[in-house]
Amino acid sequence: MVDAAEGTPVAGSTLLTPGAAPQPTGGMIRFSSQWRERLAAGPESDLGLTEQFRRLAATLHHAHLANGLSDVMLTSASPGDGKTLTAVNLALVLAESYRYRVLLIDADLRRPSIPDIFEQSDGCGLSEALTSPTEQKLALVAITNRLSLLPAGRPISNSIEALTSPRMRQILEEATSRFDWVIVDAPPVSAATDARLLAQMVSGTLFVIRAGQTQSPDVQRAVDAIGREQILGVVLNGVEGTGPTPYYYGHPRD
């Protein structure tokens, strides 16, 4: 287990600028009220839910130790399957239970949603950095001492151009070198080619399926589009009677 040094400045940083440390109030995470009970941290968190995400995080932790896995993307076949919920909870548990330094990237540049969860005011983010003619420093948002957020910024429609830019690769490279874990919240595969492009830039993909909602032909199409070899595992979200419960069925590649 990596016990990340809190707030350690990182040498060689070019694009990513650490956010101000969160207020030392103990709770310190500013969750929005409609997400609080679905998150695996904070005073209103559900123990059963937190436990499920610890199991998922444990698998990633072992893959990190065994083969250096340190960046994953979350995607799914359709909108609303639970990608963002899973990405945020995974990032929280890796940071708070496993004490990794984690960067959560909101890479849904067309419809960013993470700002809603953390009650973070809409500001600049990835989309501005990728579309600006000049190189810009990107201010990260400190969610906890160990968890930072790279917000998506303002929604853009030309996200394919932005995501395929050399700057995007530079940002991901810097992120993986500075953090123990980089968790990328991606759009659904059905929306555009964004998720397919992003899948080629990260070490592996966790595929979210919403129980009772995601249709199996859509899953098949999405998995084929991403590439089966890119998929590390599947998170089955929302099994009836158990609340928002993710299951991890796959095994990260050796």
Ligand X SMILES: Nc1ncnc2c1ncn2[C@@H]1O[C@H](COP(=O)(O)OP(=O)(O)OP(=O)(O)O)[C@@H](O)[C@H]1O
Binding site for ligand X (CB under 6 A): 38, 76, 79-85, 108, 113, 188, 237-238, 244
Q: Work out what residue 238 binds among Mg ion, ligand X, none; the CB cut-off runs from 5 to 8 Å by kind.
A: ligand X
Helices 83-96 and 47-67, packing angle to 10 deg: 70
Number of residues located near Mg ion, criterion CB under 5 A: 3
Q: Work out what residue 76 binds among ligand X, Mg ion, none; the CB cut-off runs from 5 to 8 Å by kind.
A: ligand X
Name the token pair of 56. Answer: 């998922």
Q: Report in angstroms how near the CB of residue 254 gets to ligand X at its nearest.
A: 29
CB 112 within 8 A of CB 137: no
Q: Which is closer to ligand X, CB of 84 or CB of 230?
A: 84
CA distances from 110 to 53, 163, 187, 191, 194 (A): 27, 11, 8, 9, 10
Cα–Cα–Cα angle for 121, 199, 53, nearest 5°? 65
Q: Which is closer to ligand X, CB of 108 or CB of 174?
A: 108
HSE at residue 128, side-chain half, CA atoms within 13 A, is: 13
Q: Work out what residue 188 binds among ligand X, Mg ion, none; the CB cut-off runs from 5 to 8 Å by kind.
A: ligand X
Instruction: Name the residue number minimizing CB distance to ligand X.
Output: 244
| Pairing mode, strands 147-150 and 141-142 | antiparallel
Q: Work out what residue 38 binds among ligand X, Mg ion, none; the CB cut-off runs from 5 to 8 Å by kind.
A: ligand X
Q: Report in angstroms how near the CB of residue 186 gets to Mg ion at its nearest.
A: 8
The residues in 109-128 that bind Mg ion, with binding defined as CB under 5 A, are 113
- Of 70, 84, 159, 230, the one binding Mg ion (CB under 5 A) is 84
Q: Work out what residue 126 binds among ligand X, Mg ion, none; the CB cut-off runs from 5 to 8 Å by kind.
A: none
CB 29 within 8 A of CB 42: yes
User: DSSP label at 248?
Assistant: B
Q: Does 97 bind Mg ion (CB under 5 A)?
A: no
Name the token pair of 53. Answer: 């995400």
Which residues of this chain interact with Mg ion, rule CB under 5 A?
Answer: 83-84, 113
